[in-house]
Structure 1
Amino acid sequence: MQLYLDTANLDEIREAASWGILSGVTTNPTLIAREKGADFKQTISEIAELVNGPISAETISLDAPGMINEGLEYAQWHPNVIIKVPSTTEGLKAVYELAKRDIRTNVTLCFNAAQALMAARAGAFIISPFVGRVDDTGVDGMQLIREIATIYRQDRAITTLILSASIRHPRHIIDSALAGADIATCPFKVLQQAMRHPLTDRGIEQFLADWKSRT
């Protein structure tokens, strides 16, 4: 399973990229807005210099023509740009038209397997089920990943990648991989947490103590 970083913060991306684990980056209007004064196009361009992989840039239009126009513009910014559209019927129309132009899309805000199936049929490159937000409703978000994975695997014509989004904690990463996700996109703090363990810290302390006391 590939790991993406869910952020528009260049410092976070630069640090995570230095670990050698990043395959891509996802952004959205909220993440861009958090970077005060950041220019959308410039931010995407700078991310492309740090990560050699898909970079999701989200449209803000609610209608298909608007999404298509924005998608056509964003796609010119860099070959790695993926156009992010919502799981709506207008989003499906945009996916379908952009796919005809060989422009890849990421269908976001997916909350059921029917949405995922239709996105794949429309030609989506990536589907993004929001596991954390599904969990918030009292339903197992990983069950959604499993359902989509089963549906996709049964139809060889479907090549859409499953991206587990709304990752809240390190266990979500492992469960996503076990459930059949192709990608997990994570906040930087979750990636940091995933590399921490008290036994690792304790082991390092013990090794250093033993080394210092060798004489």
Structure 2
Amino acid sequence: MNQLEQLKKYTKIVIDSGDIEKIEKYTPYDATTNPSLVLKAIQMKKYRSLLQESINYAKKKGGNRNKIITNATDKIIVSIGAEILKKIPGVVSSEVDSRLSFDTHKSIEKAKKLISLYETEFGISRSRILIKLAATWECIQAAKELEKENIRCNLTLLFSFAQARACAESKVFLISPFVGRISDWYNVNYSSSQYKSSLDPGVQSVQKIYKYYKKYSYKTVIMGASFRDIKQVLSLSGCDCLTISPELLEILQSKNTIIKQKLSTPKKIFPNHTDILSHSDFLWLHNQDSMAVEKLSQGIRQFGTDQYLLEEIVIKNM
């Protein structure tokens, strides 16, 4: 078996792409999208019809110019997700506008709107959708409320242990720790002599979360994300899920070297902790991690920029 086939024995493989052809090629169980991937996908020739259909839908719905633009971009996100779901057996993650990352109420409203579009326009059950939200305190609280309505969430842009702990305590369905972006930060801010290069900081972060969740019986699914190379991927073999780019899936598929399971549930487990992080506790602990503060803020800005660019495409084609 090639390494991709071997990895599927230990871990659920998720493709990080909006490209239907790539999804068909690697036969993942689930798929994830984000504003950057949606922006890239909608500029492909194969999705041109979805762009125009979404604009026509928004115009028919009516409202002022801003309302039409918002409705069109929401429809694009859901339309691409619906196309992906035709090719996979599992779920697709669709992301809420990152500009709402500090507003619990508006994040809940947007999540419900996306779910409604999936259900009413495409007849797709909410059980096949994960709503992606940035792992801010506000969005973690939004996810907590959405779970009560059977709207499962994927908390993304997760960099600190405080974020991971708050998600578990709020019974969030799934988290996406960003392995590569964590390692990027350490590579820029520290020399290799200041930390052991063999102990990748991004990999270590996910290992710590995995051990903590499993030790204390938290049900939140851990999905490693944002990988830079195959070594990072294979170091987390055994993690609940791994979302991997088509480029790295190609490499895994081309290699036959035997791989080993690196993560497994400990034999001794304990009940969940009874002490729950307060808002102020969360902010203080997250603030102690300079990398996490910087990368979360940067990630939200980046996805916000891509949302603006998607809106510009809609405007040009209106």
With the shorter chain as reference, the TM-score category is: 0.7 to 0.9
Of 190, 207, 213, 1:146 maps to: 207
Of 68, 89, 94, 2:108 maps to: 68
Distance 1:56 1:193 in 2: 24
**Which residue in the other structure is 2:129 paired with?**
81
Distance 1:29 1:154 in 2: 34
Distance 1:151 1:114 in 2: 12
**Which residue in the other structure is 2:195 paired with?**
none
1:148-174 per-position Cα deviation (integer Å, ceiling 9, x unaligned): 012101222x10011000012222221
**Which residue in the other structure is 1:195 paired with?**
253
Distance 2:248 2:229 in 1: 6
Of 101, 120, 127, 2:175 maps to: 127
Q: 1:3–1:183: 8 Å Cα contact kept in structure 2?
A: yes
User: Any stretches of 5+ residues in structure 1 without a counterpart?
Assistant: 200-215
Paired amino acid for 2:96: T
Q: 1:74–1:81: 8 Å Cα contact kept in structure 2?
A: no
Once the two structures are superposed, the pairs formed by residues 78-117 of structure 1 within 5 Å of their partners are 78-79=124-125, 80-117=128-165
Larger relative contact order, structure 1 or 2 (CA cutoff 8 Å, min sep 6): 2
Q: 1:58–1:84: 8 Å Cα contact kept in structure 2?
A: yes
- How far residue 197 of structure 1 moved from its aligned partner, in angstroms, is 3.6
Secondary structure at 2:86's aligned position in 1? helix
- How far residue 6 of structure 1 moved from its aligned partner, in angstroms, is 0.2
Distance 1:163 1:137 in 2: 20
- How far residue 5 of structure 1 moved from its aligned partner, in angstroms, is 0.2
Distance 2:215 2:178 in 1: 22
- How far residue 74 of structure 1 moved from its aligned partner, in angstroms, is 2.2
Q: 2:159–2:178: 8 Å Cα contact kept in structure 1?
A: yes
- How far residue 75 of structure 1 moved from its aligned partner, in angstroms, is 2.4
- How far residue 73 of structure 1 moved from its aligned partner, in angstroms, is 2.2
- TM-score between both structures, scaled by the size of structure 1: 0.84
**Which residue in the other structure is 1:184 paired with?**
242
- How far residue 198 of structure 1 moved from its aligned partner, in angstroms, is 9.0
- How far residue 127 of structure 1 moved from its aligned partner, in angstroms, is 0.7
**RMSD of aligned C-alpha atoms?**
1.6
Q: 2:31–2:93: 8 Å Cα contact kept in structure 1?
A: yes
Distance 2:113 2:223 in 1: 24
Pair 198,47 (structure 1): closer, same or farther in 2 beyond 3 Å: closer
**Which residue in the other structure is 2:35 paired with?**
29
Distance 1:124 1:75 in 2: 17
Distance 1:84 1:100 in 2: 16
Distance 2:211 2:177 in 1: 14
Secondary structure at 2:156's aligned position in 1? strand
Determine if the alignment matches structure 1 residue 167 to structure 2 residue 227. Answer: yes
Secondary structure at 1:50's aligned position in 2? coil
Distance 2:254 2:16 in 1: 19
Pair 97,168 (structure 1): closer, same or farther in 2 beyond 3 Å: same
Aligned length, in residue pairs: 192
Structure with more of its chain in strand, by fraction: 1
- TM-score between both structures, scaled by the size of structure 2: 0.58
Distance 1:6 1:32 in 2: 11
